[in-house]
Chains A and B, each alone.
Chain A
Amino acid sequence: MDKLLSMTGITKAFFGVSVLKGVDFDLNHGEVHVLLGENGAGKSTLMKILSGAYQLDAGAVVLDGQPIDFATFTPKAADDRGIVTVYQNFHLIPHLSVAENLSLASFTHGRGFIHWKQVYAHANTVLQKIDFAIDPKAKVRDLPVSQKQMLEIAIALSKNAKVLIMDEPTAALSRKETETLFKTIADIKARGIGIIYISHKLEEVKLIGDRITVLRDGLTVATVAARDADLQQIIGLMIGKELSRVHENRASVSDEELLRVDGLQNRHFAAPISFALHKREVLGITGLVGSGKTELAHAIFGVDRLDAGALSLAGRLVRIDSPRKAVALGIGYLPEDRDADGLCLNLGVKENVSLVYLAKLKSLLFSVAQEKRTVAGLVDSIGIKAAGIAQQVKYLSGGNKQKVVFGKWLSARCNLLILDEPTIGIDIGARGEIYGLIRQFIAGEDRAVIFISSDMAEILEVADRILVMAGGALVAELDPKHTTKQEIMQYSLRAVTV
């Protein structure tokens, strides 16, 4: 059977930096072809060329037997030819309702009046197709992240796509929602639509993929059938080197407490929260979406008010009523949404990395030369890949952005780092580097890390001790060496009665 999509010799460079060096990639009808690779390997660039957002420098693309003329290939043209992308950052209009978003394209037809009956009928048809319950009248900005994602997919489907590009589709989805998504994908495959699936969740790609292609440094390194794929081998192909682990050559956890949390209560918690954090410890906090993990981080970091409870740092009782206070006490917080809450995107690497350091400084003036030196040194030791410290952070890959946020706290001499889903949307190589940074961090005398993640496999790997949250309460404390994912999941699903 003829291939649905065939990309050959794709070459692209930006400002003289070669990003794609002759990539070959093809897609069959009704296939899920997984595209793997570190950030910077060229996956996004390849997909942006396919969807008409970028021009290629050399190479050819043939869709359904028809070559694509890149001189006239705009995103709209890609859309018309049936190449539809479902993004991580949503293309929905937050202030409009679900139904309006679904009919947005058709608002340009007709004689200017909106036929509401048709709009809602169309919405119902589309939503039924993906077997997902969303109130068509609900405003998109009120929907939880997972529903927004499903909606994006629904919209993509309603456009009569031939090729669907899915970029990290399950990043914000729960297990059940992921299952629903996979069912939908099976449906889509049956209709002969080809799916290019980009994800960093390696276990998942084996389940959903038919073929897997690994990109590294702008070249296709391997294409294998998913069935036959050996994950360790694939990781090796992706990063080309050893993966760093948090627990290599580590000093052991101290008995001394760095932080004690006693009876924390506020409107987000169903029951008072108490636990201790020891020096040199990586405390994992896990649980399902909405279980209160981020709220706990916010409570400790001073973002949310406490109704009751006490916090002690190194034995001293402290009141943390603002992020500023927390920062002054040496606590750092890497937020879940690093773009929205952790980075000043249009400022440079330098301005971002020095931010907390400057916030803590007492003097009015600061030495620009000193700042440059400190940041350059940090960028070097952390391994932030950027075109110089003046480059605007918005141009960096996800992994490098996260390293910038990390660097921001490292430059400010903080002792307690709270990491909220730190490796979400980050490729395996950068993930390993972040683990390495964590390991380096806790080697210091009075340091500790709270590692929040809904990825239970990751928590088992990274944490010294695991706290499980469910429904706004702490439900279990587990030893990663003596527990399993199943047990963690069981606790996560427990409903709490107060």
Chain B
Amino acid sequence: MNQVETSQPSTATRASAGIRGLFRNQGVSMLVILALMWVVLAFLSKYFFTVDNLFEITLQTAVVAIIAAGQTLVIISGGIDLSVGSVFACAAVVGGVVFTSTGNLLLSLLTTLGVGALFGLTNGLLITKVRVPPFIATLGMMGIARGLALIISSGIPIYGLDDSYKFIGQGKFFDVIPVPTVIVLVVYAIGYVVMNYTRFGRFVYSIGSNAEAARLSGINVPLVIIGIYTISGLLSGLASTIEAGRLATIQPAGGNGYELLAIGAVLIGGASTFGGEGSILATLIGALLVTTIRNGLNILGVNAFWQYVVNGVVIIGAVAIDQYRRRR
């Protein structure tokens, strides 16, 4: 019988030999495009290809990338989480209130993570027990979380987060590597292991591919789905601590639109909106792509409002490339 591995990878981002093979994989295609972009921008501006600026890109990517990591699981499972931007804000606000009243950084961070996870858990329960479709459940939660964030904070940003908090967003390990960059790398390393080496990760792919077949194979589908959305909420909370650290304030209006950026990054990385396909590493490349463009436009002095246009074009373009690639 045939034991030869074919050059059609099933789910992981395995690069195959040859240029042709490279383009069979969306993640790799986007990596190539990213590299090309860096080369072009390096030519266009001498400020681009500096160590400082490159770290700056990873910094700017960090927040969206972490949210996108959670969104990757959601989208691979065939769902969607529209609430991440609002949960981002609400988790930060509640954590901020804890911080300003207790001064305890650890407690505040745990609260933020906990609130994020709680929202995610609620999403998961709505989807599995009450049978509300993910789009609707997270759409509603988007409004609920945003409203609660504004109510709890009375609409006023929380200022003056002290140095201990700022370390998360602005600190550097060994004076060189920004803390957020490290956090992103850790999250993605864990994500990679989970999606490729744990049963949970495999179940996410299976449920996205065919939830009924997964159920009939003995998988506890509701439990996995609850887990997925809880993780998405948790990571939204984590991302918000980084932004709070960077800005040294917590904005109740923060995270607005981040859900679209996160979903964009996941789809640029080649995940299918139908579920069952996608890769955590490719999402990271997608997030880097989006941020590179934004960073590049800034450096070139382009009007900031063009970023919205460019973002939209990039998402459409990347998914168009993906669709074209699938049909070959």
Return chain A residues, CB-CB under 8 Å to B276: 344, 346-347
A319 CB to closest chain B CB (Å) equals: 16
Inter-chain CA distance A387–B2, complex, in Å, is 6
Knowing A323-B218, A359-B217 are in contact, say whether A368-B199 is a contact too (CB < 8 A): no
- Specify which of A344, A384, A386 is in contact with B214 (CB 8 Å cutoff): A344
A294 CB to closest chain B CB (Å) equals: 12
Return chain A residues, CB-CB under 8 Å to B210: 340-341, 343-345
| Per-position 1/0 for B1-29, Cβ under 8 A of A | 11111101111000000000000000000
Inter-chain CA distance A342–B8, complex, in Å, is 22
Return chain A residues, CB-CB under 8 Å to B206: 344, 347, 351, 355
Return chain A residues, CB-CB under 8 Å to B203: 358-359
Asked if A303 lies at the interface with its beta carbon under 8 angstroms from chain B, I say yes
Residues of chain B at interface, number, CB under 8 A: 34
Inter-chain CA distance A366–B194, complex, in Å, is 10
Beta-carbon contact of B202 and A351 below 8 Å: yes
B15 CB to closest chain A CB (Å) equals: 14
Asked if B200 lies at the interface with its beta carbon under 8 angstroms from chain A, I say yes
Beta-carbon contact of B1 and A355 below 8 Å: no
Beta-carbon contact of A348 and B196 below 8 Å: no
Beta-carbon contact of B10 and A351 below 8 Å: yes
- Nearest chain B residue, comparing its CB with the CB of A338: B213
Asked if B308 lies at the interface with its beta carbon under 8 angstroms from chain A, I say no
Residues of chain A at interface, number, CB under 8 A: 47
The segment from A80-88, A255-263, A326-334 that touches chain B is A326-334
Knowing A347-B209, A351-B206, A368-B196 are in contact, say whether A324-B220 is a contact too (CB < 8 A): yes
A366 CB to closest chain B CB (Å) equals: 6
Asked if A163 lies at the interface with its beta carbon under 8 angstroms from chain B, I say no
Beta-carbon contact of B202 and A328 below 8 Å: no
8 Å CB contacts to B: which residues of A276-335? Answer: 301, 303, 323-324, 326-328, 333, 335
Beta-carbon contact of B217 and A388 below 8 Å: no
- Specify which of A324, A346, A363, A390 is in contact with B219 (CB 8 Å cutoff): A324
- Nearest chain A residue, comparing its CB with the CB of B215: A323
A-B contact count (CB 8 A): 118
Beta-carbon contact of A360 and B218 below 8 Å: yes
Asked if B212 lies at the interface with its beta carbon under 8 angstroms from chain A, I say yes
Beta-carbon contact of B6 and A344 below 8 Å: no
Beta-carbon contact of B8 and A391 below 8 Å: yes
Looking at B2, B213, B215, the one whose CB has the most chain A CB atoms below 10 A away is B213
The segment from A34-42, A177-185, A375-383, A424-432 that touches chain B is A375-383
A334 CB to closest chain B CB (Å) equals: 9
A332 CB to closest chain B CB (Å) equals: 9
Beta-carbon contact of B213 and A356 below 8 Å: no
Knowing A327-B218, A392-B8 are in contact, say whether A361-B202 is a contact too (CB < 8 A): no
Return chain A residues, CB-CB under 8 Å to B10: 346-348, 350-351, 390-392
Inter-chain CA distance A84–B215, complex, in Å, is 38
A328 CB to closest chain B CB (Å) equals: 7
Asked if A457 lies at the interface with its beta carbon under 8 angstroms from chain B, I say no
Asked if B130 lies at the interface with its beta carbon under 8 angstroms from chain A, I say no
Return chain B residues, CB-CB under 8 Å to A346: 10, 209, 272, 276-277
8 Å CB contacts to A: which residues of B15-58? Answer: none
- Nearest chain B residue, comparing its CB with the CB of A335: B216
Inter-chain CA distance A343–B3, complex, in Å, is 21
Beta-carbon contact of A303 and B199 below 8 Å: no
Asked if B303 lies at the interface with its beta carbon under 8 angstroms from chain A, I say no
Knowing A341-B212, A347-B205 are in contact, say whether A379-B1 is a contact too (CB < 8 A): yes
Asked if B198 lies at the interface with its beta carbon under 8 angstroms from chain A, I say yes
- Nearest chain A residue, comparing its CB with the CB of B221: A324
Looking at B4, B8, B203, B277, the one whose CB has the most chain A CB atoms below 10 A away is B8
Inter-chain CA distance A350–B5, complex, in Å, is 11
Inter-chain CA distance A166–B197, complex, in Å, is 45
Beta-carbon contact of B11 and A347 below 8 Å: yes
| Per-position 1/0 for B58-97, Cβ under 8 A of A | 0000000000000000000000000000000000000000
Asked if A139 lies at the interface with its beta carbon under 8 angstroms from chain B, I say no
Return chain A residues, CB-CB under 8 Å to B217: 323, 327, 355-356, 359, 408
Pairs across A and B, CB under 8 Å, 17 listed: A340-B210, A344-B213, A346-B272, A347-B205, A347-B276, A351-B202, A351-B205, A359-B199, A360-B218, A364-B198, A366-B198, A366-B202, A380-B1, A387-B8, A388-B6, A390-B8, A412-B218
Residues on B facing A (Cβ under 8 Å): 1-6, 8-11, 193, 196-200, 202-203, 205-206, 209-210, 212-220, 272, 276-277
In the A-B complex, list the 6 residue pairs whose CB atoms are closest, starting with the nearest: A327-B218, A348-B10, A344-B209, A359-B218, A388-B6, A387-B6
